[in-house]
Each structure stands twice: as C-alpha cells, then as structure tokens.
Chains A and B, each alone.
Chain A
Amino acid sequence: MQLGTPESNKAYTQSTDFKGVSMTNTTAMTASMAVSMEGVRKTFGKKVAVEGIDLAIPQGSIYGFIGPNGAGKTTTIRMIMSILFPDRGELSVLGKKSAVESKDRIGYLPEERGIYKKMKVGAFLKHIGRLKGLDSRGLGNIVMQWLDRVELADVHKKKCEELSKGMQQKVQFIASVLHDPDLIILDEPFSGLDPVNMRLLRSLIDEQHTKGKTVIFSTHVMYQAEQLCDHIIMIHEGKKVLDDTLEDIRTRFDPRAIHVDPVGGLGMSDEIAKVAGVTHVTPVEGALEVILSEGIDPQDAMKSLLAAHPMNRVEIKKPTLEDVFIEIVTDGVRSADAEQLRADLLAGSKLEEEGES
C-alpha cells in the first residue's frame, strides 16, 4: 500500500491536524496509520522516560526519530514493538492494539545488536525467519539472496562471532527485513558502519521505502536523518519537541542568516555589519554569519551585501537539524548555553562514530 506522497502525508502528520482528525474519525485514522500513539507515558521507577508522546506515522512513509542519547527514542520504539508497555496512553500498530498481534509483519533492528555468537550466519537467519513465520521451504534461498545483496554471500557457513562488527550489523539488518515486513523499525541502524556500508544500508532502506514499506529509524546523528527521511520526529528529555516534514522544518526554522566570505578576510565584519538590514555578524567556520533583521528578504539582503563589499562566497544558510534542535531546546535564545549544547551534540556524535569504527 502506497500512501506516502508528501502532500497526502502532510495533512495527518502535522501534530495539530492529526489531533483534529483523530477526534472526528479515529478508526479511519488508525487504519491508514502504520503507528499511532496518544498521550503515551512510560516511567522506570522514579525516572520518566517518555511523557505524553503523540505520534501518527502513515503507512509508506519514512520517519526519523532524532534526539540525543537518552532522549527516549529507544523506549518509544520498544513500546511500539510491545517489548515495553506504556504506563498510560493509547497505542496502535498496523491497525492492531499491539505489535504482538502483528509481529510477523514488523521488522525490528534493536539498538543493542544481538546475535547467537556460536550459530552459523545462515542458520541464525533461517532461525529468525522461521520465528517470524516464514515457511522453511525456500527460506534458504531467501537468506542467500539477502546475503548476496549485502556482499556477505561467502560467510553463511561462518559462525556469527567470526564476523566483523560491520558484517554483524548487516546480518542483523537482514534479520529485520527477511520476512518482507510492512513496517520496518531500525534503532540506530548506522552505528558502527563504515561510509561504504553506510551508503549500502541507506540504499537498502530507500529501496524498502520505494516498495511502499513504512520505515521508522532512530539516530542521534542528525545529518543521517536529513539524508533519508521525509519526516522528522525529535525527542528531547522524553518529550516530542518536533514532528514535521523536513521541508517544513527548513522553512519554519529559517535562521534568517546569510553566510558570507568577504574578499579581504574575516576582518571585514565591522564593515558588513553596517549594511542595511543586518543586525548581527559573527565569525563561523571560515565565514561570517550575517543575521538579518525581521522583514528583510534574504534575496534583497544578498544583493545589498554584494553591492557593499566584494565577496568570494555568499549563500543563504540552510538550517541543519542540529540548529533546529538547539533552537527548540533553548527556545531560540542564542547563548553560551546553546553553543555548549551544540558542541556537546557534535562531540557526542563524533565520539560515537570513533568509538564504533
């Protein structure tokens, strides 16, 4: 089932619209939704892991859950998978009250990689396939085809523990899509992969999306979400802070900033600050970030900047998800705190990548 054109999604996916629809026609809504959540809350002892999460993920869409480590992404995903159960709130998966009833239609790649170390790769995948309700006849062929696709055809007789971490990761991915599920949930699918395999995995995920499958994946490395998703859900400290299409996010969080690289170097900042419509100039990574005052059209501002001073480069700054995230959690206030948070985010994702490579 393919419902996932951006236009058709939009009406449902923006949280305000979703609420309107859900109140008038819940059954119609859940039928077309791969996953929906309403007011879901989960606590572990005194710690609130997830609080008041509302979600509506249409079938055929590709959704990214982003947020820093410990934000509540995995908890949310485990609740969708019925591995954990919410303390409060409503949840439906593929039109059923719980994922338990449609386990065989869901593919799941957990955050913690798990394989039987002593089992042979082929046997492990067949075992998972059987558990997922596949018929044992022809299963061997399906497994081999998949291994072939991820360039692991020669390892199916090897024990899982003999594989490198990246190879294990690919085996795990196969385990989650082997049974051709309608809904694929991938928790941090890219961690531990080198750039080549990252691209391979990205194309495989994209392919599933093109086939009309619903894909949900989480990542704390936000640019990965930017590359793949058509819709972003941002979770921070257990709360959903953003739920929108990537396009809308970019429009909404237009930073009203222009990056310029003036001839004569960054010492020209004082001169550029004098240009009409410019409120603030700060040096960033080999360029100057020019913040525009309200009501100024960026196109006009670029013209006047070029007129005022010769430039090597002038471009409208595109908001990254990191910027958006920081703006949301700091309420748009530019401060030392925000810079610190940004630095932490970048350092965090770097650490993660270094640690896993």
Chain B
Amino acid sequence: MNMSKVMRVAAREFASTAMTKGFIIGALVLPAAMALVISLVLMLSINAQPPADKGTIYLLDRSGEVASTATERMSPEEVEQRWQERAENAKKFAKEIIGNKFGSKVSDSIDQASISIDTPEFRVIQTDPDVDIEKLKEELRTQVAAGSASGDELEKLIAIIEIDADATRKANDDEGFGSYQAFFRPKLNEETVSEIESSIRWSIRELRYQNAEIDRDVVVELSSVKARKSMEITEEGERKESSGITSFVIPFVAMILLLMASMTGGQYLLTTTVEEKSNRVVEVLLSAVSPLELMTGKIIGQMGVGLSLLTVYNAVGIIALIAFSMGDLIDARMVLLIFVFFLLAYFMFASLMAAIGSAVNDLREAQSLMTPVMLMMILPYIFFMPVIRAPNSLFSTITSFIPPISPFIMIMRVSSTDPPPTWQVLLAILLNMIAVVFFLWIAAKIFRVGLLMFGKPPNFRTLIKWIRMA
C-alpha cells in the first residue's frame, strides 16, 4: 500500500468534509449556539422573576381565634424575615448535597436569585365573620373583570380566606378538625399562593397547639429526625453512596459523545462514497489508487473528522467543568479511554458505512441496508439504564464484550461509580481490535467489488456473494 497516496486521499476526504460551511455550522457552531441559548434561558429564568405580588387579603374567620395570629404571620416584617431564612437554608442544603466546592457556586446563584425575587406584601383585612362569602367573591370577580386597578397596589384584592368555625376546636369528639378554604385572583406567583396558604396553615396549627396546651418547640423537636449521609461498605472501605449527578450524567455524556463522534464520521463516509460512486469519479481514482488504498484513505480522513469533533466537544466539556469549579471530575484516564473506544467504535462503524456506500447507487438505496446498522446503534441507549443501575451485573459485563456495541457499554461502565476491573477493560479493547480487523476485511472485499457495480441495489445475499467472490 502506498501510504503517501492513502494520506492524500485522507487529506481530501477530511478537507471536503470538515472544511465546509455546512460542517462547521452543523457540527461545531450549532451545538455551541445551542449550549449558549440553553444557558441563557436558564440564567434568565433564574433572574427574571415576575414582580412580587402585593394586595389585600380578606380573612373571614368563622373560628374567631385564628385571624389575629394569621394577620401577624402575614405582616410584611414577618414575611420578609422568613424569606431570608429560607434562602440561607437553601444555601446550606446545596452545600450539603453537592459538596463544598460546587456548593459555593450554587449558594452564590441562590443569593442572586433571592435578591431578585421581591418579597410579597400583604394587607390583611378581617371581615365580619357573618358576612356572605358570595358577596366577597363577587367583589373579587368584579375587580378581576375590571383589570388591573390603578392607584395603590395594596388596595388590590388578591385572596379571600374562609376559616371553618371548627378549624381549631373540634365541634365534638367524633369528628376531626375543620379546615379553611382559599380563593385567589388568577395568575398570582406560585410563591405568593404558597406563602399565604402556609401562613394560614401555620396559624391554625399554632392555635390547635395552644388549645391543647402543647409547646410548639417541643413538637418541632420531637418530630425532627436528622438524616445523615448514607455510606456504602465496599472492598476498599467506606464511601458515600453514589450521588445522582456523577452516576448518571457522566456515563450518559460519555456514551453520547462516543456515539455522536463515530456516527458523524461514519455517516460522512457513507455520503462521500456514494457520491464518488454515483458521479463516477471513482473510476478516475481507481486508475491512480487501489480500492484498498482508497478505502483506507477515506476511513482515515473521516476518522480525522470524528476526532476533531470529539476533541472540540471534550475541550468544551472540560472548560465547562473547570468554569463551574468541577475540575476534579475530570479524569485523564477517562479522556484517554474515550479516545481509544472512539477509534474502535469508529473503525467498525466506518467499515460498515464504506461497504454500504460502495454497494449502492444512491443514498436512498442505502437506507434499507442502513436499518440494521441503525438498530444496532440504538442498543446502547436501550441498555443505558440497566447497565448504569448495575454496572457489574452479568448483563452489563457480557454486553460490554460484544462488538460493535462493546465500546459504548464499556465506556458507560468505566465512567460509572463502580468501574470494572482493568483486565475487563483491556479484554474489551482486545476483542474490539479483533472485531475491527474482521470488519475492515469484510468491508475491503465488498468495497472492491461494489464500487464498479451499477444497477440493481444489492441485498444482503448479494453482499455475501461479493465477499466470497473477492
């Protein structure tokens, strides 16, 4: 094989694929733009909260004892204080869940978020307990129909609360406590609604404690059981139980990266092969290079395409992780394995694509031969959940040794929280290398015969005949 000719073919293949506007936009700019848009939307949705609700609440207290507690509970000062406490707690919680390093970033953003959400402000008016609830509702309905009233926003009626007479004291021992009923103006912020409702519930509960002569603090103390982080006992010792983010996201991302990079290169290989065949440039090429040189060159060229995609996406991922102070999640061994498994997966997929591309007359005909290949490429998606739930189960172990899906399954296992032993990884690499040689051998045979065959699109039986023939 004349390597300089092979590399010449590869260079053209790479340039004609990767140096086009279509590729740069489709494969590089578009994902980057999407990532940008998604993060913008996320940031906007955090920062751009609707203005806080202000308004009047009619409190129709038929029990006769909740009203004053509830009014105090919903006074501007108390509401303000509670909102600040809640933000503090959220920060603490975030730190506990995600760990200190990343947690600080989260608490920063919670800071920003809580600053941007204004605390709602209420004016509570206790109505005559004997008033007809329908009249109050009618008033709210008229206000809603009139649209937003000008003038003082606090004048605006936003809610009517009707507290049952037996909300805090049972009418008799056979029945339970009564409750309350709330009516809201439409399109209030969710926070406002929950603030009002929780204040009412808190007030009702408070009065029930008083009536039963129970100290509230005692109840709180008695009902709280602090949860500690669960630990797993493994061969190596104790460790924290796997947390959601690392155990699911990283294997999934690794698998998708691998699939995307190998399929992009492979797909382009199919397209250019079909193109060369259908515009007959292939005969000119074959007068200069052998079919094997041509195929090798094309596969190497598209490997370059896949590698550059993988490199760009990996770099973006690594930069993103560092930017979010999650750099410690980057594992050099993982990055290396992604590239190794990419090469193995790509060579198998590319062989299939080269064989199919050389056998058909146009892309439409390629579809029927592509179907089984595509089904095969879906398998890693289907196997994602079972493999990631039990990375070392019999099923996971076996599927990670079966080419051509082996690279995808193995990368999931390797990046899971419970990676397989090194010998399994090495064995998978070895098995895949054998498979690559076999796939390339088959592809070379089909490629040689198929390139100059025009006419009826071949079926699998014809392909097997060609393999025997060549």
Contacts and interface: CB of A to CB of B under 8 A. Distances in A.
Interface of A: 78, 81, 83-84, 100, 103-104, 106, 108, 110, 112-119, 127-128, 130-133, 172, 175-176
Nearest to A83: B286
A109 to B, nearest CB: 8
Contact of A114 (B5, B8, B281): B281
Given A112-B280, A114-B279, A131 B289 contact: yes
A127 B289 CA distance: 12
B80 interface: no
14 contacts: A78-B452, A81-B286, A83-B283, A83-B286, A100-B290, A108-B287, A110-B284, A114-B279, A114-B284, A114-B285, A117-B279, A131-B288, A131-B289, A133-B5
B16 interface: yes
A175 B284 contact: yes
Contacts of A117: 279
A128 B288 contact: yes
B280 to A, nearest CB: 4
Interface string B1-40: 0000100110010001000000000000000000000000
Contact of B287 (A81, A113, A115): A81
A110 B8 contact: no
Contacts of A133: 5
Contacts of A84: 452
Nearest to A133: B5
A172 B284 contact: yes
Nearest to B277: A114
Interface in B248-303: 276, 279-290
Given A108-B287, A113-B280, 17 more contacts: A78-B452, A81-B286, A81-B287, A108-B284, A110-B280, A110-B284, A114-B281, A114-B282, A115-B279, A116-B276, A116-B279, A116-B281, A127-B8, A127-B12, A131-B9, A131-B285, A172-B284
A9 B152 CA distance: 113
Contacts of B5: 130-131, 133
Nearest to B2: A133
A131 B8 contact: yes
A230 to B, nearest CB: 25
Nearest to A181: B287
Nearest to B12: A127
Contacts of B9: 131
Q: Closest 6 CB pairs between A and B? A: A114-B281, A114-B280, A112-B280, A108-B287, A110-B283, A131-B288
Contacts of B16: 116, 118-119
A113 B280 CA distance: 6
Nearest to B278: A114
A125 B276 CA distance: 16
A269 to B, nearest CB: 51
Most buried by B among A103, A114, A119: A114
A78 B286 CA distance: 10
A173 to B, nearest CB: 11
A112 B288 contact: no
B284 A83 contact: no
Given A106-B287, A108-B287, A130 B8 contact: yes
A132 B283 contact: no
A128 B12 CA distance: 11
Nearest to A99: B287
Contacts of B8: 127, 130-131
Contacts of A103: 287-289
Nearest to A132: B288
Contacts of A83: 283, 286-287, 452
A3 B10 CA distance: 40
Given A114-B279, A117-B279, A128 B284 contact: yes
A124 to B, nearest CB: 9
Contacts of B282: 114
A108 B283 CA distance: 9
Interface in B280-336: 280-290
A218 to B, nearest CB: 14
Contacts of A115: 279, 281, 284
A106 B284 CA distance: 11
B380 to A, nearest CB: 34
A88 to B, nearest CB: 15
Interface string B223-247: 0000000000000000000000000
A108 B289 CA distance: 12
Most buried by B among A106, A127, A131, A132: A131
Nearest to A118: B16
Most buried by A among B5, B288, B290: B288
Contacts of A114: 276, 279-285
